[in-house]
């Protein structure tokens, strides 16, 4: 058995580069402990509740976005809020969620039509598993909880 470490996604709106090109399709890899710890060493990060921490982590794990040569914090900061929220949810599901939650995210994105998450062909169910004529049409999985907006974490300032 091979461990799947990369997941394709499609952003709801897409990143618009300086030339005006829109980049929606991308790849996110599973996070390592270093991916979550290294940004905490950044002197601009005030602690684990710093909202910028998410930006730095996503810049490490988003390995492809359209035809951009490199993904940095600048590109992640330049995302529309809905795309940032999508990537935060996607990160949580692929790193900490179950296969069921991942499949629910796929179904919700497909039903919403605003973003799609791609899966490799080997992960797709066989035709007999999809549901034939005897499967009820209203047997869709419940939509996962996703954020409607980016939520900023309040900080105590002394």
Q: pLDDT tens digits, residue range 47-71?
A: 999 999 999 999 999 999 999 999 9
pLDDT at 124: 37
Q: DSSP letters along 71-139, please?
A: --HHHHHTS-HHHHHHHHHHHHHHHHS-HHHHHHHHHHHHHH-S------GGGSPPHHHH--TTS-TT-
How would you classify the pairing of strands 6-16 and 22-29? antiparallel
Q: Note whether residue 136 is domain-resident.
A: no
Q: Note whether residue 133 is domain-resident.
A: no
Q: Note whether residue 124 is domain-resident.
A: no
Q: Note whether residue 126 is domain-resident.
A: no
Q: Note whether residue 65 is domain-resident.
A: yes
Q: Note whether residue 150 is domain-resident.
A: no
- Give dist(CA 81, CA 99) in Å, integer: 26
Tell me how many domains the chain contains. 1
Q: Note whether residue 69 is domain-resident.
A: yes
Report helix, strand or coil for 40: helix
- Cα angle for residues 36, 106, 86 (degrees, 5° grid): 45
pLDDT at 119: 44
Q: Note whether residue 81 is domain-resident.
A: yes
pLDDT at 103: 84
Let me know: does 35 contact 61? Beta carbons within 8 Å: yes
pLDDT at 24: 96
Residues of the chain scoring pLDDT < 70:
113-158
Residue 112's domain comprises 6-118
The overall pTM is greater than 0.75? no
């Amino acid at each position: 058995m091979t461990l799947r470490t990369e997941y394709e996604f499609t952003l709801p709106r897409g990143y618009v580069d300086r030339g005006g090109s829109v980049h929606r399709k991308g790849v996110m890899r599973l996070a390592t402990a270093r991916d979550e710890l290294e940004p905490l060493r950044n002197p601009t990060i005030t602690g684990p509740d710093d909202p910028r921490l998410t930006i730095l982590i996503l810049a490490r794990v988003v390995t492809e976005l359209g035809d951009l040569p490199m993904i940095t914090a600048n590109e992640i900061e330049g995302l529309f809020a809905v795309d940032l929220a999508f990537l935060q949810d996607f990160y949580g599901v692929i790193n900490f969620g179950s296969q069921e939650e991942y499949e629910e995210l796929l179904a919700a994105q497909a039903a919403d039509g605003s973003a799609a998450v791609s899966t490799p062909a080997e992960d797709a169910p066989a035709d007999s598993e999809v549901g034939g004529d005897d499967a009820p049409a209203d047997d869709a999985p419940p939509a996962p909880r996703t954020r409607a907006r980016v939520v900023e974490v309040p900080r105590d300032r002394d």
